[in-house]
């Protein structure tokens, strides 16, 4: 499954490939974390989408991180999105 780039968002081929790789490697891990926090599958899906929208804006920064740092970064992003969703409720 490939992450769909939202309409109106223009990314270079390099960034599209990087985003696809990140989504492929980390989406299931992030979704599991979101479900654990939110206790709701639909909200977890929304959190995952929101997380990847934030990640799109930071692809250059992520490209300089080690694999272990990327995993930690992805976990921090999904957790922050989930906690923000809970605050809004």
DSSP states of 13-28: HHHHHHHHHHHHHHHH
For the entire predicted model, the pTM comes to: 0.86
Name the stretches of the chain with pLDDT < 50. Answer: 1, 7
Supply the pLDDT for residue 71.
Answer: 96
Supply the pLDDT for residue 27.
Answer: 95
Supply the pLDDT for residue 10.
Answer: 73
> 4 by DSSP, 3-state: which?
coil
Which tens digit of pLDDT belongs to each residue from 39-60?
999 999 999 999 998 998 899 8
Supply the pLDDT for residue 6.
Answer: 59
Q: How many CB atoms lie within 10 A of CB 56?
A: 18
**Cα→Cα distances 3→19, 65, 67, 83, Å:** 7, 21, 20, 23
Supply the pLDDT for residue 82.
Answer: 98
């Amino acid at each position: 499954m490939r992450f769909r780039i939202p309409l109106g968002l223009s990314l270079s081929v390099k960034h599209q490939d990087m985003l696809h790789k990140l989504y492929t490697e980390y989406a299931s891990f992030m979704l599991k974390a979101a479900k654990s926090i939110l206790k709701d599958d639909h909200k977890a899906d929304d959190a995952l989408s929101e997380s990847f929208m934030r990640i799109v804006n930071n692809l250059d920064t992520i490209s300089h991180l080690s694999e272990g740092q990327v995993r930690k970064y992805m976990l921090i992003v999904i957790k922050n999105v989930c906690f923000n969703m809970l605050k809004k409720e």
